[in-house]
Structure 1
């Protein structure tokens, strides 16, 4: 049946509008679950107790399964049906959110968050694929622009909404809000959505998917457990060694697979390599702050959830408008130069934030946080379009899949690694001011502080004034921001080097003007 006729059968423009609204509602719940969950973590720790590792998994479990399952979910959507996978994803996400609202222990929260990440991947992959079938041409550009803006709204207002909900109803309300969004999406969007499949979908690279997920899981577990157990602990060494071995096995399997999950030949395109640096930069220069700053403001500096959420607006609100400004700038400037300039601005903001937070958060932190948000927002609005415009058109689907996986999986890896580095820096600083304290107590206190738990850290450091502990933490946090600024600057240099060059007619396609697109969407 022609697309237009089928659309008419499902309610025409009104039906497509309902489908778009349903996918956007589901998409709104994803960043809310990420940024709102970070704000809720200290309250969850006070309510349920638990180790620092268990608190870290509240966010890391979601990001790990979300990132590792995104490509598999996209393949299942093509084979089993986009509507079916979207419905499964949204229904499962909402069910997990309801269960999180009743979770009795932090361990139960962590397990449910891992399951929620799997369903979130299905919802995003199925939803974006369904939109690609319902809209085309200028309508598709507007639809995916609306989806991208929805992600921005979730990132921007997730912290302050979570703070308000926690202040008035408790932390469980944060997850129940996501359940409401999912139920609404199921109720009026899914019935109007038509089922579509790819009749030519081939075998999926199951071995590659399993090896990739196993390697990512082993690495994340090792990084999270390292600060508490010690980097030479047999379990930590086994996890990290296993991650390396599994990664090598994954690369070997992909080189031999007929339909690989990761087409290594795409990395022969220098501009494609440059695009992969963009999510690395935004993960380390922006995304990790969406988690670390609320933990600091609430758990160490003593802000309540609402105050922390309001302060976080300086970091997140630029995502509402800067990506669209970036697209307009491509009319007169090269996209690679815009991305590189944005990363340089973000790095400058990270360095300025280091000094603004030296004596605690306050009004001085607003301008540096705005600089980081604006700087990260410039590549944010361009990198989805760049990911497909720097490779031949017939390979756009694979390029989008690789980029989306790098983006989402990289967020979990960045968060785990940065938290581990912060714990190590705090431990080193405490060791300088308390040379006679037991090493185990110092390490335990450092891990607690890295996850925003000042009260438990003080119990491990009897006799040390809270102000001294905060000062040691602030110094370590400043060193961490210096490191994040260096990473962001190095990525900026790589982006300018790879994306700044003109594409060779024999090696790469001409780069098109970029348009904002929701993360993970494939327009193949």
Structure 2
């Protein structure tokens, strides 16, 4: 139950520090452009869909390549993939800072996602080799806290940097942290790989990537073109086809990227639902709330960042505390209760007027609820497979987490646009097509352009329609979070019984 320190190897805590520094950059990359979205739009232009891809391009490539990155790390070396990923990430980050238009910016955001996936999968799977038992759980609690630091300080740090130096400068901090992580990792991480690895499952990686990309694109396109549009139908049909092909491929290869037999174990299923849980109850708010606070309510970037600290601040402390409390209270209970607390906060937020001081308490409650399971997630993920397949475990868990976040963001944007369109239609402000166009602009925080599309409706009417739609959306998100809490509790609780524990240890190491 102690960290392994072979002769000549660096202390495990230095490896942990390197991986945590890299992990800290990823939420900064996620939240920073959300705070800067209105300024990015003013500088680079772009349609509502192109502006949605500012976030989704990063999320999509991150999610779509995590499992492949985990397999590459197990096959070709965890340290190597970690450093290569950080190198690509830094280059893409500096490129995004210099992007001349929205197309280049979105493309470089996608490249950031590729680098992030490789760095995270390689770093986390290397970290899993350094610790065993409870110490591994604690190490991954630190990893969760690192994400919390990035999420907590990302909005306010981005707001301060934007006001002082402009939106492009937010990428300097991200690049500096990534370079520091790479230099430390180069000196401290010892190379390791899975001795039984047989190469990357290229067919599985390809079918999964295409499936996820077409699904996200289809959901993003639907609000503008309609769900019955041939392009949208074609994209969603292609996604279903490639997901089916992915399942067929993974069932046939000897060493699959995703071992489908793991889904026989309730604990594994519970962990995957736990990975998806923050998507609808927390992560989407990291994008939607800055857009609302700045674009709709007229707050400054700094004011919005201060409110966002209320939401993400609990992730600075509670993940570590949850890791300690898990010695005496079952993780299933901690995770289930936390998600129910987050759902209560979502309902409270839907009933709260958009006044800064009134928003503090419900935002803190949501953050507390999500922070309780946050620090347990990654440790639970690597505990359900043999240590030699840690790269696969990290890849599966974080693919589930980030894929759900990317798809959830696309779906929630579409639902919010639909709710806003419905509210504008009820008020009789314009024909449905013009109301739809105005709603899409409101979802990106552009009240002025939306008012220009609907000259008969004033800004006050548009803002009220958006706020009503947002409150309805929060209720939907709360219901999803409650349902997820029940599934997580049942899955993890069943998986913690002695019989299922024996089953879990019997998971085959071969696909």
**TM-score > 0.5, shorter chain as reference:** yes
Query: Which residue, out of 463, 466, 471, partners 1:470?
Result: 463
**Which residue of 2 is the match for residue 479 of structure 1?**
472
Distance 1:423 1:269 in 2: 38
Distance 1:409 1:333 in 2: 30
TM-score, normalization: structure 1? 0.90
Pairing 1:79–2:75 present: yes
1:138 deviates by: 7.6
1:318 deviates by: 0.5
Pairing 1:427–2:421 present: yes
Pairing 1:418–2:420 present: no
- Larger mean CA deviation between 491-500 and 86-95 belongs to 491-500
CA contact (8 A) 1:29 1:178 kept: yes
Query: Which residue, out of 199, 217, 222, partners 1:226?
Result: 222
CA contact (8 A) 2:125 2:394 kept: no
Pairing 1:491–2:484 present: yes
**Which residue of 2 is the match for residue 443 of structure 1?**
436
Query: Which residue, out of 272, 276, 279, partners 1:283?
Result: 279
Distance 1:334 1:184 in 2: 36
Shift in alpha-carbon separation, 1:258–1:493, aligned structure 2, 3 A: same
Residues 207-286 of structure 1: pairs in structure 2 closer than 5 A? 207-286=203-282
TM-score, normalization: structure 2? 0.92
CA contact (8 A) 2:296 2:463 kept: yes
Query: Which residue, out of 317, 324, 330, partners 2:326?
Result: 330
**Which residue of 2 is the match for residue 111 of structure 1?**
107
Pairing 1:454–2:447 present: yes
Distance 2:439 2:39 in 1: 19
1:141 deviates by: 5.8
Distance 1:210 1:134 in 2: 31
- Larger mean CA deviation between 55-64 and 456-465 belongs to 456-465
CA contact (8 A) 1:391 1:509 kept: no
Distance 2:259 2:503 in 1: 20
Distance 1:394 1:92 in 2: 26
CA contact (8 A) 1:70 1:121 kept: yes
CA contact (8 A) 2:20 2:142 kept: yes
Distance 2:373 2:228 in 1: 38
CA contact (8 A) 2:148 2:316 kept: yes
Deviations 1:259-302 (A, max 9, x none): 12222221112232222221222110011111110011111111
Pairing 1:198–2:198 present: no
Distance 1:129 1:272 in 2: 18
Residues 309-388 of structure 1: pairs in structure 2 closer than 5 A? 309-357=305-353, 360-388=354-382
1:457 deviates by: 1.1
Distance 1:32 1:245 in 2: 34
- Larger mean CA deviation between 421-430 and 30-39 belongs to 30-39
Distance 1:136 1:347 in 2: 34
Distance 2:196 2:95 in 1: 38
1:24 deviates by: 2.6
Number of equivalent positions? 502
Shift in alpha-carbon separation, 1:480–1:110, aligned structure 2, 3 A: same
- Larger mean CA deviation between 450-459 and 474-483 belongs to 450-459
**Which residue of 2 is the match for residue 516 of structure 1?**
none
Deviations 1:207-253 (A, max 9, x none): 11111111000000000011011111111111011111111111122
Shift in alpha-carbon separation, 1:193–1:313, aligned structure 2, 3 A: same
What is the aligned-residue RMSD (CA, Å)? 2.4
- Larger mean CA deviation between 165-174 and 147-156 belongs to 147-156
1:200 deviates by: 2.9
CA contact (8 A) 1:100 1:112 kept: yes
CA contact (8 A) 1:392 1:508 kept: no
Structure 2 unaligned residues grouped into runs of 5+? 506-511
**Which residue of 2 is the match for residue 518 of structure 1?**
none
1:63 deviates by: 0.7
Query: Which residue, out of 5, 8, 12, partners 1:6?
Result: 8
**Which residue of 1 is the match for residue 25 of structure 2?**
29
CA contact (8 A) 2:280 2:477 kept: yes
